[in-house]
Chains A and B, each alone.
Chain A
Amino acid sequence: MRMDGVGKVFAGEVTALSDMNLTLAEGEFVSLLGPSGCGKSTALRLIAGLMQPTTGKVSWQGRHDTGDLGVVFQEPTLMPWATVEKNVWLPLRLRGEKLDAMRPRIREALDMVGLGKFANAYPRELSGGMKMRVSIARALVTQPRLILMDEPFAALDEITRNRMNDDLLALRGRLGCTVIFVTHSVFESVYLSDRIVVMAPRPGRVAEEVTVTAANRDQDFRTSADYAGLCRAVSAALSRATGDT
């Protein structure tokens, strides 16, 4: 997946994004980090194909069908009238797959996020963290090659959020899919990503990139000096990005 000189101008001459270049390697975890108004969500919508860029080109060679892309929004975005199982079924259902035939796959996706027992629950019966897990299971059920996540854990409390981060890392280690993760949390981005793209606002653009190398991402990494140093570096990059406008 690559973006070449991608820009987006909205009516009223608001430049949401200008000249963004981004190339993703297979299996890479990239965070888009920046303050609000820096165009990270616009970038995500362009990649998802929900918008066309004003300038430049978004290309993705590996994409063959709709199932190659999974999306997780900031809100769980579940259908309240459908059970967990039927919510996860949605991407498959829209391709014409029957529920009975798909049950093992849905079950597998739910097991991956630890919700195997909740297939017949309704979303309202679940906690915020569990709803988010359903949302992730729905993104995983098509076995996507690229997953877009738009501040998925921003609304969760910190304890839940840390657990979700660990679970996400474990899942990704197992599935090896490429992830683009939008966040405004420095700590989260350092903990999760291989590469952090720091973005600047007005107009939205890429300011700097920070590469993260860590052997193991676990509790030790979170308390290590490396981690603290990286967080400092990313914070500095972020203040440069927001300060020079």
Chain B
Amino acid sequence: MTEARTQIPDAEEIARLRRARAEKTGRWLMPLLTIALALAIWDRIVVWNEIPHYILPGPGLVARTLVEDWAILGPATWVTLKIAMMALVVAVIGGVSLAVLFSLSRWAEMSFYPFAVILQVTPVVAIAPLIFIYVENRTIGLLLCAWIVAFFPILSNTSLGLRSVDRNLADLYRIYGASRWQRLIHLQLPSALPYFLGGLRIAGGLSLIGAVVAEYVAGTAGIGTGLAFRILEAGYRLNIPRMFAALVLIAVLGVLIFAVLSLISHLALRHWHESALKKES
């Protein structure tokens, strides 16, 4: 690159740089354009076919509903986000500590890993009704459901990472007389970090799905206030625009969670891990 600055680059290099620049702007511009286009088509379909709003509202109406019903939808978003995030935190704590336990004891892994798998492969919609029978507190029930969905990717990825230690480095630690604890803290946990962060990104999305699904199952019993509850409620009242508005909010939440977790992952790994390095020419 420094060569290119001091000397005149040839035509091929100039073309390559121009392509790289175009791609950089395109990465932002293209999704925005396609989304705008999709909204415009949606709007035209609704207007030209004179579809009534209780069947398919146009994007304008959905946006207006979003603003007008914010007093209802805002707090609901907050409730759903809170459940999802709490579940994610518990999933991280539970997943990582279980992974560490498994790495410390082969016997613990052999004994308990099957339970984790069973919990993972059983659909949460099927477990949730039971949970709401046994767990009195609705928030804790929701949390439990979201946690069941979110914790497995963290557990399995972190377990994999803790086992993926460079053999020579492990030998080196032995030669220098490292304790089990030192090996865990200074060698295994940093080695597992990229794997953990990969799991975290998956778990972030899953915790939101878990929170929403659990809320559906919990239904209108009790004092429901999350987004899923608002969708159910709006459905009973045939308030289709509000259903769309709540759906938009859930999608936005999911994208936000993914973006934040990606950023965290990038910040944590940018100095050393291949996945976070900029592509070099």
Q: Which residues of A contact B (CB under 8 A)?
A: 45, 48-50, 66-67, 69, 71, 73, 75, 77, 79-82, 90-91, 93-95, 122-124
Contact = CB atoms under 8 A, between A and B. Distances in A.
B186 A93 contact: yes
Contact of B277 (A71, A75, A93, A124): A124
B214 to A, nearest CB: 37
Given A66-B176, A94-B173, A77 B271 contact: no
Contacts of B187: 79
Contacts of B171: 45, 48, 50, 71, 73
B168 A75 contact: yes
A71 B172 contact: yes
Interface SS of chain B: helix, strand, loop or mixed?
helix
B69 interface: no
A123 B272 CA distance: 8
Contacts of B273: 80-81
B64 to A, nearest CB: 50
Contacts of B177: 66, 94-95
B175 A66 contact: yes
A50 B182 CA distance: 18
Given A73-B172, A82-B190, A94-B176, 4 more contacts: A50-B174, A81-B271, A94-B182, A94-B186
B176 A91 contact: yes
A124 B271 CA distance: 9
A122 B172 contact: no
A73 B178 CA distance: 18
Interface string B149-177: 00000000000000000101101111111
B252 to A, nearest CB: 34
A82 B187 CA distance: 11
B175 A77 contact: no
Most buried by B among A91, A93, A94: A94
Contacts of A79: 169, 187, 190
B234 interface: no
Most buried by A among B166, B174, B176, B177: B176
Most buried by A among B172, B174, B186, B187: B172
Contacts of B72: none
Nearest to A71: B175
Nearest to A65: B177
Interface in B236-281: 271-273, 277
